[in-house]
């Protein structure tokens, strides 16, 4: 497993991270047993993945906690709290820590924040996060965008102007590389780490959905036929983009996990392929691939 420095946190992390949300939620969405989901997490650790990302909203924190029991110090653990809930950030984190079976998380995200939400949170929210950090309940402050509703990244440049974030989670893919110019120059300058979500979603894993997307954007259903394995190419595209650190992959299937990790560890796409993708999608900032 390749590793990388996680920006200003200075943590050494795997370039593949296990995402415990998405459509699968470690297989829980599709009827997996708790034992089967725990097995996915433990296989990820055995493959060399040391960054595990979950969230209160995913319903997978308890599974992650059971899977990493006895291995907590081998894991860079992140979880999240939604804004605009009845719980304070402190109460939300305390509940997450209990479910995870730990007394701290390495990275704590404000979860799926919109521009409107960010403009309303005020300095008290950041002060609360800093107090939680000082209390040792979290190590690094983080924020994730609500990419499904903010595919053009309106929120993150505003948030990054506050210069308090150590890690951000960004939607980035072959179909929408707009973070390349709108987010990554800022994170690179500030040494803020980038976790990539949405590298592969429904449109890239379903031929029928992909053809619909390509017909509307590229006006050719076969526009990506030059890629032999689109999922493999999508993971490699995200992994080797300058400015990205960790590519999240989520699944409830061990074999699927192993295949995705293999792709993330492979070499970059050729310059010719990257040039063709740039021509096709350089002006796209509305697609999520979801």
**Within-domain flag for 110:** yes
Task: Please answer whether residues 276 and 226 qualify as being in contact, where contact means their C-beta atoms are separated by less than 8 angstroms.
Answer: yes
- List, for the chain, all residue ranges whose pLDDT scores fall below the cut of 50: none
Q: What is the pLDDT of residue 186?
A: 98
- Helix, strand or coil, per DSSP, at residue 247: strand
Calculate the alpha carbon distances from 259 to 40, 47, 207, 282 in Å: 13, 11, 18, 28
Query: What range does the domain containing 163 cover?
Result: 3-281
Q: What is the pLDDT of residue 218?
A: 83
Cα–Cα distance between 122 and 208 in angstroms, integer?
44
Phi, psi of 60 (to 5 degrees): -115, 5
**Within-domain flag for 96:** yes
Please report the DSSP string for 228-245 in residue order: SSHHHHHHHHHHTSTT--
Q: What is the pLDDT of residue 273?
A: 97
Residue 14: both structure tokens together: 């795997």
Cα–Cα distance between 259 and 55 in angstroms, integer?
24
**Within-domain flag for 287:** no
pLDDT tens digits, residue range 107-166?
Answer: 999 999 999 999 999 899 999 999 999 999 999 999 999 999 999 999 999 999 999 999
pLDDT tens digits, residue range 21-35?
Answer: 998 999 999 999 999
**Within-domain flag for 25:** yes
Q: Rounded to the nearest 5 degrees, what angle is found at the Cα of 242, between the Cα atoms of 240 and 244?
A: 75
**Within-domain flag for 245:** yes
Cα–Cα distance between 86 and 77 in angstroms, integer?
24
Strands annotated E in 72-205? 76-82, 105-113, 138-145, 167-171, 193-197
Element (H or E) spanning 40, and its range? Answer: helix 34-46
Calculate the alpha carbon distances from 87 to 93, 125, 154 in Å: 9, 13, 26
Question: Of 58, 104, 235, 273, which residue is the catalytic one?
Answer: 58
Q: What is the pLDDT of residue 66?
A: 98
The runs of H, that is alpha helices, within 58-153 are 61-67, 89-100, 115-134
58 is catalytic: yes
Cα–Cα distance between 203 and 142 in angstroms, integer?
28
If one counts the domains in the chain, the total is 1
Task: Please answer whether residues 248 and 239 qualify as being in contact, where contact means their C-beta atoms are separated by less than 8 angstroms.
Answer: no
β-strands 12-14, 3-5: how paired?
antiparallel
**Within-domain flag for 196:** yes
Residue 264: both structure tokens together: 């993330």
**Within-domain flag for 286:** no
Strands annotated E in the chain? 3-5, 12-14, 16-19, 51-53, 76-82, 105-113, 138-145, 167-171, 193-197, 246-249
**Within-domain flag for 175:** yes
CATH code assigned at 31 = 3.20.20.100
Task: Please answer whether residues 143 and 112 qualify as being in contact, where contact means their C-beta atoms are separated by less than 8 angstroms.
Answer: no
Output the pTM of the full model. Answer: 0.96
Cα–Cα distance between 221 and 127 in angstroms, integer?
49
């Amino acid at each position: 497993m390749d590793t990388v420095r996680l920006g200003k946190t200075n943590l050494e992390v795997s370039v593949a991270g296990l995402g415990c949300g998405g459509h699968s939620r470690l297989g829980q969405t599709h009827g997996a047993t708790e034992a089967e989901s725990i097995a996915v997490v433990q296989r990820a650790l055995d493959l060399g993945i040391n960054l595990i990302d979950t969230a209160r909203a995913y319903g997978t924190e308890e599974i992650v906690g059971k899977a990493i029991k006895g291995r907590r110090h081998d894991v860079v653990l992140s979880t999240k709290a939604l804004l605009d809930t009845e719980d304070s950030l402190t109460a939300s984190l305390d509940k997450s820590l209990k479910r995870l079976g730990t007394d701290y998380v390495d990275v704590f995200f404000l979860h799926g924040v919109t521009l409107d939400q960010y403009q309303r949170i005020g300095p008290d929210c950041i002060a609360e996060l800093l107090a939680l950090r000082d209390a040792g309940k979290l190590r690094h402050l983080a924020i994730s965008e609500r990419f499904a509703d903010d595919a053009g990244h309106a929120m993150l440049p505003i948030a990054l102007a506050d210069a308090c974030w150590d890690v951000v989670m960004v939607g980035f893919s072959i179909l929408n590389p707009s973070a390349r110019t709108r987010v990554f120059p800022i994170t690179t300058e500030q040494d803020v780490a980038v976790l990539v979500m949405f590298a592969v979603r429904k449109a890239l894993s379903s031929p029928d959905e992909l053809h619909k997307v390509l017909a509307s954007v590229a006006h050719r259903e076969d526009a990506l036929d030059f890629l032999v394995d689109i999922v493999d190419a999508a993971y490699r595209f995200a992994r080797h983009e300058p400015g990205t650190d960790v590519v999240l992959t989520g699944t409830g299937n061990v074999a699927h996990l192993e295949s995705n990790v293999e792709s993330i560890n492979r070499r970059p796409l050729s310059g010719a392929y990257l040039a063709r993708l740039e021509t096709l999608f350089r002006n796209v900032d509305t697609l999520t691939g979801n």
